[in-house]
């Protein structure tokens, strides 16, 4: 039963991010991480940026952005 659930999740998560989109997200995440760990951005804003940078890296790794799905955005050049 657990495998069936994971299969359904992966079917829903079809790639919708292209290479350029993924690279840009990783660069932005790195910049936000550096700003946080250097102490340039602190407090609540720093924590929010750190969480956002983690989300950017994770979505880049799986090539899927959940916010793209409802808007029908697909930057992936591979057509299936």
Spell out the per-residue pLDDT of the chain, length 80, in tens: 566 655 555 666 788 899 999 999 999 999 999 999 999 999 999 999 999 999 999 999 988 888 888 888 888 876 55
pLDDT of residue 69: 84
Domains of the chain, by residue range, sit at 16-71
pLDDT of residue 45: 95
pLDDT of residue 15: 86
pLDDT of residue 32: 95
Integer angstrom CA distances of residue 22 from 26, 36, 73: 6, 21, 14
Spatial distance between the Cα atoms of 28 and 36, rounded to a whole number of angstroms: 12
Spatial distance between the Cα atoms of 21 and 45, rounded to a whole number of angstroms: 24
């Amino acid at each position: 039963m657990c495998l069936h659930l994971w299969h359904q999740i992966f079917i829903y998560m079809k790639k919708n991010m292209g290479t350029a989109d993924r690279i840009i997200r990783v660069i932005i995440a790195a910049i936000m991480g550096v700003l946080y760990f250097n102490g340039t951005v602190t407090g609540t804003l720093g924590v929010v940026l750190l969480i956002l940078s983690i989300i950017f890296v994770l979505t880049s790794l799986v090539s899927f952005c959940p916010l793209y799905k409802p808007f029908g955005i697909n930057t992936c050049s591979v057509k299936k």
